[in-house]
A and B are shown apart, each in its own frame.
Chain A
Amino acid sequence: MIPDLKWLDDPEVFRVNQRPAHSDHYFYKNSAELATGQSSYVQSLNGPWQFRYSATPQERPLDFYREDFDARDFDMIKVPGHIELAGYGQIQYINTLYPWEGKTFRRAPYTLSDQLTPGIFSAAADNSVGSYLKEFDLSPEFIGKRTIIQFQGVEEACYVWLNGHFIGYAEDSFTPSEFDLTPYIRSGRNRLAVRVYKYSTAAFIEDQDMFRFSGIFRDVNLLALPAVHVDDLKMTPSVDPDFKSGRFELQLKLSGAALPTAQLKLALFDQNNQLLAQQTQTAAEKVTFEPIDFPKVTLWQPEDPYLYHLQLEVRDQTGQLLEVIPYDFGFRRVELRADKVIYVNDQRLIINGVNRHEWSAETGRAITLAEMKADIATMKANNINADRTCHYPDQIPWYYLCDQAGIYLMAETNLESHGSWQKMGAIEPSVNVPGSNPHWLAVVLDRARSNYETFKNHTAIIFWSLGNESFAGEDIAAMNQFFKDSDPTRLTHYEGVVHAPELKARISDVESRMYERPANIAAYLEDEPAKPFILCEYMHDMGNSLGGLKSYIDLLDRYDMYQGGFIWDFIDQALFVVDPLTQQKVLRYGGDFDERHADYEFSGDGLLFADRQPKPALQEVKYYYGLHK
């Protein structure tokens, strides 16, 4: 296949040769590896890569992917990381308006006309390009196995080549993109080339209120798939209406040459590693295990996030172990009952929540596991029981940490298009995407699917969120329907349907609003409300703020259908720089990089400062969120 630069311009081209999205399970060669957490089936490609920055697509080094390309004059860049924070390309913070505001006139394709706009990004003067090269020696463990490359996050569109051969194309900055390298991988030295574009049509639906970066900003791994491999695992632990017993169901999708003769062994353990159940099955492309009854389940809940442990072994016909898969899961039951109140485990759900962008003052959205763990500890210490992954899927470990810590998740899909309909505070949706536009349907459905398929096994997730501030139309209704069809065990959330009340019956299980005044919430709840009420954003903690939280917490006592909210937001977005005048390390915010248009200090709305020191308001959150645990 020949890669085409025009894909950047076409909202209907967003994944080429990508593997289907699948569950985020880890897999190991054997129990010894499992015990250490180091899988020989994974080869990290993080680290220094060769790099060339080009200000426009036209200036990119055309043949850089060829094996005979002389890249001795390339720079070096650290992967994962943002191109802008490595000193290439201007840093920009902007909220609602698109980053090219006032510089390049753009309307999303298929809005003002029924056509594409040729060159809208592929020939654009503002679309910077990162050409990445990585030479690596294939780990001996990989030889003879299928080799997959997994990019966990590349912003915002990327083309991949291996050893001179085109491999594939991906958009969606915040979900893993995987490609099969098997046809072209070599034992020994290989040459990987990745071309990253700052903009594609994805830019219209990735307009999140954040610093705008590009580059390979999350981990890059090679994965070796054994002769039989579990591609996807779907666990369904369910709790019976008596909240005492439950059952566990498991479906797998497998692949590999040795498939028909392989054997699968499932073992379930409690938290004390006591074996509770075992089952064997013969491998096939699709395997459904017999349901396993649990006469007595210990429920997963924020105060006691009890997790059971699954271990799945795949063996070939000789009994040789091919892979071991661990996964911890909890039993919890989410219900929207006839009284229009959401219950989790028979208790009325109360969300003491916060919105969390992934952020580091040093490295932007390329955050570390240590930072994630610190955030979990901060949440637990301050009675925060829920996180909305605003406004994109987070790194995979975050979901595991939330399972373990007992943090409810509203798992948000990577979708935000407020630049297409929010103009200087007014609502003007004439060029809104996705809207009801058929040309934008597939891409948003793909994002919903990636979110669901990747994270479906995480007990912590109780809501699927369709995205943020993207107005509402048939495309978002279709996303809602996708989640409903795929997952009856969780609820859907979307705030933007407030702008299209005629779609309320088809979008979102909850009435979700942002920054609504307490009196207006009471008015909704007094007026025959159709759905329970949640604030997906409230208490805008910009600067010295967070006054008046009591008025919201009091609503919890007045209305069962008021189920809490998510404070905006967890951590300031600001970047450390060295002030040239004082040589001090200081925090800089929007506009501080001479970028215009910018939204200046609006980037700093966190309960934590950008360096993760708590703001004084945090003690107030701890107090009020401690009243309804």
Chain B
Amino acid sequence: MAYTNNQLKLVYGDGSLGVQGHGFRYLFSYERGGLESLNINGKEWLYRVPQPTFWRATTDNDRGNGFSRKSAQWLAADQFSACTKVTVKIDGQVIELPIAPLNNRYTGAETAATAEIDFEFTTNTLPTTTVHVNYLVSPNGAIKIAVHYLGQADLPELPVLGLRLVMPTSATGFTYQGLSGETYPDRMAGGIPGTYHIKGLPVTPYLVPQDCGMHMQTQWLKITRASTQNNADNDPVPFSLTIQAASQAFNFSCLPYTAEELENATHHEELPLPRRTVLCIAGAVRGVGGIDSWGADVESDYQISAAQNIDFDFTIVPER
């Protein structure tokens, strides 16, 4: 069928909500707990559903001042937090989760001006807290993703608070408008505003692999890939995904590895073959510190208190 310009086509599946439009097809999975498929022009952009991310690979300074030990709960939360609630809103109205037999009433011809799906994650910390990942899809396919972290005073400081999107194959590079180089909240004055293209997915070669590649204060980011895992896809033409700032500039890192993969290596040659693209959009970034590497903490302005709510958002825009 032909799509209208101002309506999304909805598919009320048994395990997921399909949201479609011209050139895009998204699957919000109730059982996987998130956006399972971000398919744009036939290319899949997600390897697994996006997860809140709470961990950064221990930096030398984090190790020296005991931060990772004190905040180790967040390493578990980074890997094992679970989606505990899904809420669906169609055209701004909450509907009961449309699974069988509720969805038997649909015909396959449903449309809407907006679809909003909210996934609540509960951390396996003591005590627990929640993170909501809210997707609001517009008829043009743009997805505004808003993340809300609920502050919990009894938890240790956070290494990072973000959303991790893992893509099935390695990007050939990315372009962004923001600050030059690798920047962190306490090390960004030297970043020169501009538009920068990064070839491949470089991992900064610190002697011990550790958190790296953060880009603060970004207006937009365009990631380009040239390969998929789809056996039927023989199209070699590179394709891109664009992420735009929503209510404020965003921070990101775009690497071939998760924090855990980096954490496990003591040398770069121990890292696995680069195979995926791991995009972390970070709402709160801990500074790197620098006073010394054997005890001094990051300055207080650049620590991430777990007690405060953290909100951030950004928009994924399909390229046409």
Asked if B102 is at the interface (CB within 8 A of a chain A CB), the reply is no
- In Å, the complex CA distance between A14 and B186 comes to 48
Q: Indicate if A320 sits at the interface (CB-CB under 8 A).
A: no
Chain B 236-255: CB-based contact to A (< 8 A → 1; otherwise 0): 00000000000000000000
Is B293's beta carbon under 8 Å from chain A? yes
Contacts of B190 in A (CB 8 A): 619-624
* Interface status of B308 (Cβ within 8 A of chain A): no
CB distance from B80 to the nearest CB of A (A): 26
Smallest Cβ-Cβ distance to A603: which chain B residue: B207
Does B4 make an interface contact (CB < 8 A)? no
Q: Are A544 and B288 touching (Cβ within 8 A)?
A: yes
A605 touches B293 (CB 8 A): yes
A250 at interface, CB cutoff 8 A: no
Q: Pick the contact of B61: A538, A542, A572, A613 (CB < 8 A).
A: A542
A542 to B293, Cβ gap below 8 A? yes
Report which of A540, A589, A603, A604 forms a contact with B290, defined as CB distance below 8 A.
Answer: A540
Inter-chain residue pair count (beta carbon < 8 A) = 125
Which of B117-125, B151-159, B177-185 lies on the face that meets chain A? B177-185
Interface residues of A in 412-449 (CB under 8 A from B): 425
In the complex, the answer to whether B269 meets A601 with C-beta atoms within 8 Å is no
Task: Give the one of A539, A547, A613, A615 with max B CB within 10 A.
Answer: A547
Known A-B contacts A601-B208, A619-B180; the reply to A545 vs B60 at CB < 8 A is yes
Q: Does B126 contact A (CB under 8 A)?
A: no
Chain B residues with CB below 8 A from A545, complex form: 59-61, 288-290, 293
Contact between B184 and A547 (Cβ–Cβ < 8 Å)?
A: yes
In the complex with contacts A517-B296, A616-B204, A620-B187, A546-B290 CB distance below 8 A: yes
Query: From residue 158 to 204 of chain B, which have CB atoms closer than 8 A to chain A?
Result: 180-192, 204
Q: Contact between A547 and B207 (Cβ–Cβ < 8 Å)?
A: no
Binary interface profile of A, 503-544, with partner B (CB < 8 Å = 1, else 0)? 000000000000101000000000000000000001111111
Question: Are B269 and A616 neighbours in the complex by a CB distance under 8 Å?
Answer: no
B181: which A residues are within 8 A, CB to CB? 616, 619
Binds B, one of A195-203, A325-333, A580-588: A580-588
Q: Does A550 contact B (CB under 8 A)?
A: yes
Tell me if A544 and B210 are in contact (CB < 8 A): yes
Whether a CB of chain B sits under 8 angstroms from the CB of A166 is no
- Give the residue name and chain of the B residue nearest to A587 (CB): B207
Q: How far is the CA of A620 from the CA of B289 in the complex (A)?
A: 13
Cα separation A582 to B273 with both chains bound (whole Å): 11
Query: Which secondary structure characterizes the binding site on chain B?
Result: loop
Q: Does B205 contact A (CB under 8 A)?
A: yes
A140 interface contact, C-beta 8 A: no
Q: Is the interface of A mostly helix, strand, loop or mixed?
A: loop
| Chain B residues whose CB sits within 8 angstroms of the CB of A487 once the complex forms | none
* A548 at interface by CB-CB < 8 Å: yes
Shortest B97–chain A CB gap in Å is: 43
B214: shortest Cβ distance to chain A, in Å? 9
Q: Decide if B78 is an interface residue (CB 8 Å cutoff).
A: no
| Chain B residues within an 8 Å CB radius of A623 | 189-190
A540, A584, A603: residue with the most chain B Cβ atoms closer than 10 Å: A540
State in angstroms the CA–CA spacing of A586 and B183 once bound together: 25
The reply to whether B299 and A548 contact each other, CB–CB distance below 8 Å, is yes
A574 contacts partner chain B, Cβ-Cβ < 8 Å: yes
* Cross-chain contact B204 with A615 (CB below 8 angstroms): yes
CB distance from A99 to the nearest CB of B (A): 20
The closest CB in chain B to the CB of A606 belongs to: B207
**With the chains together, A123 CA to B184 CA distance in Å?**
53
A544 near B302 with CB under 8 A, answer no
- Look across to chain A and name the residue whose beta carbon is closest to the beta carbon of B296: A517
With A543-B208, A619-B190, A620-B187 in contact, is A548–B290 under 8 Å at CB? yes
| A624 to B290 alpha-carbon distance, docked (Å) | 14
List B contacts of A592 (CB < 8 A). Answer: 267
Q: How close is B272's CB to chain A, nearest CB, in angstroms?
A: 12
Query: Is A471 among interface residues, defined by CB-CB distance under 8 A?
Result: no
Contact A544–B180 (Cβ < 8 Å): no
Are A551 and B299 in contact, CB atoms less than 8 angstroms apart? yes
Q: Which residues of B in the span 293-312 have a Cβ within 8 Å of any Cβ on A? A: 293-294, 296, 298-299, 302
| B3 proximal to A (CB < 8 A) | no
Please name all residues of chain A whose beta carbon is closer than 8 Å to the beta carbon of B296 when the two chains form the complex. 515, 517
- Shortest Cβ distance from B227 into chain A, in angstroms? 23
Which of A425, A544, A586, A603 touches B268 (beta carbons < 8 Å)? A586
Rounded to whole Å, the gap between the CB of A618 and the closest CB of chain B is: 8
Cβ of A549 < 8 Å from any Cβ of B? yes
Q: Please, which residues of chain A bring their CB within 8 A of the CB of B205?
A: 587, 609, 613
| A148 interface hit (Cβ, 8 Å) | no
Contact assessment for A548 and B287 in the assembled complex, using a CB-CB cutoff below 8 Å: yes
Which residue in chain A gives the minimum CB-CB distance to B182?
Answer: A616
**How far is B288's CA from A548's CA once the two chains are assembled, in angstroms?**
8
A617: Cβ under 8 A from any B Cβ: yes
Of listed B59, B184, B268, residue having the most chain A CB within 10 A: B184
| Residues of chain B with a CB closer than 8 A to A550's CB | 186, 189
Contact digits for A569-597, partner B, Cβ 8 Å, 1 yes 0 no: 00010100001011010111100100000
Q: Which of B206, B207, B210, B289 contacts A548 (CB 8 A)?
A: B289
Question: Per-residue CB proximity of A249-278 to B under 8 Å, as 1/0?
Answer: 000000000000000000000000000000
**Most B CB within 10 A of own CB, among A425, A622, A623:** A623
Nearest CB of chain A from residue B186's CB, rounded to whole Å: 3
Contact of A604 among B185, B204, B207 (CB under 8 A): B207
CB nearest neighbor in A for B268: A586
Chain B residues, Cβ within 8 Å of A581: 269
Residue on A with the closest CB to B287? A547
Minimum C-beta distance from B256 to chain A (A): 16
Closest chain-A Cβ to B216's Cβ sits at a distance in Å of: 12
Return B296 CB to nearest CB of chain A, in Å. 7
Q: Which residue of A lies closest to B59 (CB)?
A: A544
**A544 and B212 contact, CB distance less than 8 A:** yes
A218 to B39, CA, bound (A): 62
Q: Most chain-B CB neighbours within 10 Å: which of A545, A550, A615, A617?
A: A545
Q: What's the nearest-Cβ distance from chain A to residue B223, in Å?
A: 20
Q: Are B292 and A547 in contact (CB under 8 A)?
A: no
Contact of B291 (CB < 8 Å), options: A540, A579, A605:
A540
A604 to B96, CA, bound (A): 56
Contact A544/B60 with A515-B296, A586-B269, A619-B180 known, Cβ cut-off 8 Å = yes
Establish whether residues B292 and A540, one from each chain, have CB atoms under 8 Å apart when the complex forms: yes
Contact yes or no, B204 A547, CB < 8 A: no
A517 B269 Cβ-Cβ under 8 A: no
A135 CA to B252 CA in the complex, in Å? 62
CA distance A546 to B299 in the complex (A): 12
A146 to B287, CA, bound (A): 62
Given the known A-B contacts A615-B204, A619-B180, are A515 and B189 also in contact in the complex, defined by CB atoms under 8 Å?
no
Complex CA gap A425/B294 in Å reads 10
Q: Is the CB of A604 within 8 A of B206?
A: yes
B211 within 8 A of A: yes
Determine whether the beta carbon of B269 is less than 8 Å from that of A539: no
What separation, in Å, do the CA atoms of A584 and B269 have in the docked complex? 8
What is the CA–CA distance of A515 and B204 in the complex, to the nearest angstrom?
25
With a CB–CB cut-off of 8 A, which chain A residues contact B293?
Answer: 540, 542-543, 545, 602, 605
For the complex formed, measure the closest distance between the CB of A69 and the CB atoms of chain B, giving whole angstroms: 44
State the Cβ distance, A352 to closest chain B Cβ, in Å: 13
Instruction: List 21 A-B residue pairs with CB atoms under 8 Å apart, sorted by A's residue number.
Output: A425-B294, A539-B291, A541-B290, A542-B61, A543-B59, A544-B60, A544-B206, A544-B210, A545-B59, A545-B289, A547-B288, A550-B189, A572-B207, A574-B207, A586-B267, A587-B205, A604-B207, A616-B183, A616-B212, A619-B192, A620-B190
Given contacts A619-B190, A624-B190, 16 further A-B contacts (CB under 8 A): A515-B296, A517-B296, A540-B290, A540-B291, A544-B184, A544-B206, A545-B293, A547-B61, A547-B302, A548-B287, A548-B291, A551-B299, A579-B269, A604-B206, A619-B180, A620-B190
Pairs A-B, 6 closest by C-beta atoms: A547-B186, A543-B60, A623-B190, A616-B182, A619-B190, A604-B207
User: A interface vs B, CB < 8 Å?
Assistant: 425, 515, 517, 538-551, 572, 574, 579, 581-582, 584, 586-589, 592, 601-605, 609-610, 613, 615-617, 619-624
